[in-house]
A and B are shown apart, each in its own frame.
Chain A
Amino acid sequence: MSLWEWILLASALAYLTKLAGYLVPARWLENDHMTRIAGTLTIGLLASLTAMNALSAGQTLAIDARVAALVAAGIALWLRMPFLGVVIVGAASAALIRFALA
């Protein structure tokens, strides 16, 4: 399947997932197990995506400018910068390290 098809399919599923909360009987979803798994999945996936984007290069691991971005973003979050500021700090630190080492 093409990337466009995956985009449309994933979007359709995202909408149906949201709608499911409104349409299916509450007792199907309304149990602590379901709520809890939705929560741990969210944390686990975001942690995994952070690690993958910071350290993977295809099927190998690489330490490069992205690690600097990770550390700088952590500091920015610690200082309670807003999301957009954190993203800019991440970009700037990766770009600077790359420029300095080039």
Chain B
Amino acid sequence: MLSSMPRLTFSPAVSIGLSIAVATGLYGISFGALGVAAGLSVWQTIALSILMFTGGSQFAFIGVVAGGGTGSAAFGAAALLGIRNAVYGMQMKRMLKLGGWHKFIGAQVTIDESTATAAGQIDVDEQRRGFWTAGVGIYVLWNLFTALGAVLGDAMGDPRQWGLDGAAVAAFLGLLWPRLRAREPVALAIVCALVTVLTVPFAPPGVPIIVAALVAAAWGWFSRGPAEEGLEPDVDPANYDGAHETHIEHGSSPPQERF
């Protein structure tokens, strides 16, 4: 057994990782249903979960396609939304020191939730257990529930009749919400939403999202807020923590506090 893969004992980090895996994996069902509603085939939707495996980018890809955007616009939105995973990879490299081929597998499961689960632990073995339990657990459940959602969505017929276009709106707001913990991210979110709405009539579908991304990048370049703003997990491990005291590197304020 290589040193970067600690023995899996049932520890606090494993229990948090499993809770996160269940909570996050379950909402794969909404991705699956929305993927099919957006016009992807069942297999295309499943392929996104197996291969892309980063919720925000997957939702972005199908969100652009649902809005009538081109494949290239969907690609652009997914690529830009995935950039934060490079930052997570860098943090995990420093924290977990994965050796050899472990980093090539670890990279695929380096997402908001696995990073946050690891970062919530203090002991290095616990950080590794948390990362792998959350990462692999979410990977398995996210793919199972994506497949279930895609098959159900396919059987449901007209997605509008079931309000699935409303579900997509709710999903994006739900992904955005945990990141709005201070005044500045709220201001940024409002500006980018306005830019999008004002650009829609003048640009092909999908392009307004790229325009908003440029505004957001410029905002990040010129402003001086806390460096890790926006890098919060959708499902926060701190909420699954029970008695164990965690230390969260993410976000600038306690996870319970919203607005």
- Which of B8-16, B25-33, B125-133, B136-144 is near enough to bind chain A? B25-33
Q: B89 and A18: CB pair below 8 A? A: yes
Q: For A52, give its contact among B63, B86, B177 (CB under 8 Å).
A: B63
Q: Closest B-chain residue to A39, C-beta based?
A: B230
Is B119 positioned at the interface, with any CB of A under 8 Å from its CB? Answer: no
Q: A35 and B200: CB pair below 8 A? A: no
| Chain A residue contacts of B196, Cβ below 8 A | 47-48, 51-52, 56
Q: For B68, give its contact among A44, A58, A74, A93 (CB under 8 Å).
A: A58
B82-116: CB near A (< 8 Å → 1, else 0) gives 11111111111110001000011011101000000
Is A101 positioned at the interface, with any CB of B under 8 Å from its CB? Answer: no
Q: A21 and B165: CB pair below 8 A? A: no
| Chain B residue contacts of A87, Cβ below 8 A | 27, 30, 167, 170-171, 174
Q: For A14, give its contact among B52, B88, B167, B201 (CB under 8 Å).
A: B52
Is B192 positioned at the interface, with any CB of A under 8 Å from its CB? Answer: yes
Q: B179 and A17: CB pair below 8 A? A: no
What is the CA–CA distance of A19 and B67 in the complex, to the nearest angstrom?
30
| Chain B residue contacts of A10, Cβ below 8 A | 52, 57, 61, 74-75, 78-79
Q: Which residues of A contact B (CB under 8 A)?
A: 1-15, 17-23, 26, 29-30, 32-56, 58-61, 65-66, 68-70, 72-74, 76-77, 80, 82-84, 86-96, 98
User: Please, could you name 20 A-B residue pairs with CB atoms under 8 Å apart, sorted by A?
Assistant: A3-B44, A13-B79, A20-B89, A22-B98, A36-B227, A37-B221, A39-B220, A41-B83, A41-B213, A43-B189, A45-B81, A47-B193, A48-B209, A56-B67, A69-B170, A70-B169, A73-B173, A83-B171, A86-B170, A93-B163
